[in-house]
Amino acid sequence: MRHKRPTVVCLAAALALTGCSAASTGSGKSGSTLTYLTFETPSLTATFWNTSIAGAEKKVPGVTVKKIVAPTTDRDAYAKQLQASGQFPDLLQSITPSTFATAGLLKPYDQKWVDANFLLPKGNAYKGKVYVPPTNSQIIPEVFYNKKLFAKAHITAPPKTWSEFMAVCAKLKAAGVTPVELGGGDPFSASMPLVGILSADVLGKNPDWLKERYAGKVKFTDANVKAAVGKYRTMAEKGYFEDGALGVKYADSIANFTSGKAAMYMMGSWFLGSVPKDHADDFGAFLTPTEDGSLVVPFSVGGSMAISAKTKDPAKATAFAQAWSLDPANYKALIEGDGAFPMLKGKTLDDYGVNVTKVFEDSYSYVTRQNTKVSSFGWATNDDSMPSGLNNAFYSASQALFSSDDVDGQLAKLDSAWDSATK
Amino acid sequence: MTTRVRPRRGDPALGSIALVALGLYVLFIVVPVIMSAWKSLTNENPLLARADFVGFSNYTEMAHDSTLAGSLGFTLLLAGSVTIATNAVGIGFAMLLNKTSLSFRMMRTVAFLPQVLSGVIVGYVWRYILARDGILDNVLVSLGVIDRPITWLGSPHLAVLSVGLVATWGLTGFTTVVHLAALQSIPVELYQAAMVDGAGRWQRFRRITFPMLAPGTTISVTISLITMLKLYDIIAVLTAGGPANSTQSTALYIIQLAFTDDRYGYASAVAMLLLVVSIAIALSVTALLRRREVDL
């Protein structure tokens, strides 16, 4: 009995210490310790993060950064878990700002600093404020194609209009080539053709469509959306994807396309990091064709890290985030491995010391040229981002529409899901 | 020789043990259920500090939620079909393995293996087997059974069938062991008497084995049902609920609502619905099967 009380006290102290240390953010005369949520991919390795953090730490005296690695690439989900358990990090890499900003969890950046350093300062602004420096961008999706397979089907140039695109698909199929690779086993990957068609047809004609959907002025069941989705159904019905595409995982779809099993592949520009270096010139890219051949770039401006509104040392957190975001050395892995298009002002690709392919340069030119850029449907990080949970409904509809011709039913489900998510 | 010490009535040691068990039960079962019931009456969002009381609006919303209806339908279909299949196979395996030699004891261990594996591992293993161009397709193509690979997990109907088969495989070890234990408790004299009376194999099974298995079947069926009604891990790894939500169990939907859609309140309401459905089914089935035991 004598030992009971000290044991309880020790246990309580241990629990308290555990709870406190998990979300430790301290500041004092000796400096600040900040927590930083990151994620790892084959190109963004642990070494990349350690090196980039060390580089920014050197530029901000008195700051120590403790890295937290999300268990998967879904850093939004992990950030939510950390928030729910009272461990929201001070800095959060590449999260979706709208999800957290609406809850008042993020601190906006100084707009003057953003304006001074980035090509599209408001590229990912949410309700007029920038929560993540717009350091890089993606085109989601591009239509990548295999030049040798096009030549085999006697196709001399990539299509510009939708009818040309359909003709290309028909020629490829007639030549015994699978026209379009689809990694339908992973929901996000299954949605890529629809993302491309909706971005080109719906947002291309009305760039404010998503904002108007929030306002209830338009619906998924509207005729223009139905017509766009009908194009995807036509592709599926005519057998322009392989029969078992819903059983093909995303990673396998990359392997299938790069090994020449299909002629085209609709995917985000991050695929550029997977283009085989030894025969990169076999691949080209164009944008989802529109009815009249006008060019519509489905664009998404990503970025580096968001700053928690709860951080105990906002000055140091901001200084670290700014130092990291402006260091060209941190862009090399993003450009070469993830096919990210850098958005720093006054820099050329040479300034990043990167070795990129011709298809990367061609794709990057869509970013730097003056043209019609619209938010990529479902991938926007600005005011055009979809409400929480809608992406899952959209992915599910994409998979369902692969084998079901109930376009009206699927679009009505999307409207219903949207209304539930926003009420 | 051992001496058994009978615990005395009112033994304080027993009281302490019971208290610990009761405390753990209250802490990890009763309190979370009460908390979930309370959250189901709010619009709690993990990102927001404040949650408002919304009455029964989460429950009324469920009536119009077609995704919930789909997931509940799939869950009930899965629970019913897998419970029947796994118990039928379990009884068959138990009868085959009801021998005492070393080789049969080893086979019993092998039959129980799937039960030892975690659902995540089962999901991963079968994902490789059932993948397009996976092990199963390669075997079937090389044997000439099919001429092109089948997308077991890529078509909604086949994915439902595949999840059912994998869940049956995972649960059969358990049902086999339960029925084996029940089989071994049947007195041999009953069979001997039946043989003297001229009863054939089928009659012996129908008149002796099957009725005498009743207590084991009650346990096995009830636990199989409950396991299937809350199935999450195998599906999360095998199909992630796809394609097109065709294999989305209610448990999986609850996780999506809470952690992707940020709707703790609504997710809690769906969890309460699943709890009530599970309790109702478990109680009904147990009552039905117990009646069969009483009829012996």
* Cβ contact A137:A123 at 8 Å: yes
Which CATH code of 3.30.420.40, 1.10.150.120, 1.10.3720.10, 3.40.50.720 fits the domain covering B50-294? 1.10.3720.10
A interface with B, Cβ–Cβ < 8 A, is 77, 80-81, 83-84, 99-100, 102-103, 105, 184-185, 187, 190, 243-249, 252, 388-389, 392-393, 396-397, 399-400, 402-404, 413, 416-417, 420-421
Q: What is the pLDDT of residue A249?
A: 87
- Do the Cβ atoms of B242 and A421 come within 8 Å? no
CATH topology for the A139-300+372-422 domain: D-Maltodextrin-Binding Protein; domain 2 (3.40.190)
**Inter-chain touch B47–A80, beta carbons under 8 Å:** yes
Decide if B259 touches A, using CB distance below 8 A: yes
Q: Which residues of B touch A244 (CB under 8 A)?
A: 132, 149-151, 154-155
The secondary structure of B142-204 as a DSSP string is HTTS-SS---TTTSHHHHHHHHHHHHHHHHHHHHHHHHHHHHHTS-HHHHHHHHHTT--HHHH
Q: A81 and B150: CB-CB below 8 Å?
A: no
Question: How far is the C-alpha of B76 from the C-alpha of B67, rounded, in Å?
Answer: 14
Domain extents in chain A: 27-135+302-364, 139-300+372-422
The pLDDT tens digits for A306-316 are 999 999 999 99
The pLDDT tens digits of the residues spanning B107-121 come to 888 888 888 899 999
- Residue of chain A nearest B256, judged by CA positions: A389
Question: Between these two residues, A1 and A408, which has the higher pLDDT value?
Answer: A408
| CA closest to A400 among chain B residues | B244
**Span A223-239, pLDDT tens digits:** 999 999 999 999 999 99
Residues of A in contact with B69 (CB under 8 A): none
Cis check: omega of the bond before B215, within 30 degrees of 0: no
Class of the CATH-defined domain A27-135+302-364: alpha beta
Chain Cα centroid distance, residue A213: 21
Per-residue pLDDT for A10 more than 90? no
- φ, ψ dihedrals at A103, nearest 5°: -90, 5
- Report the alpha-carbon angle A88-A91-A94, nearest 5: 105
Q: Which chain A residues are within 8 Å of B66, Cβ to Cβ? A: 413, 416
pLDDT tens track for A29-49:
568 999 999 999 877 899 999
Q: Which segment of A11-20, A149-158, B51-60, B272-281 scores lowest on mean pLDDT?
A: A11-20
Phi, psi of A162 (to 5 degrees): -65, -40
Res B134 pLDDT > 70: yes
Question: Taking CA B166 as the corner, what is the angle to CA B163 and CA B171, rounded to the nearest 5 degrees?
Answer: 120
Q: Report the SS3 class of residue B187.
A: coil
Residue position matching structure tokens 């901000």: A60
For B2, counting Cβ atoms within 10 Å of its Cβ (0-12 exposed, 13-18 middle, 19+ buried), the class is exposed
DSSP one-letter string for A320-339: HHHHHHT-GGGHHHHHHHH-
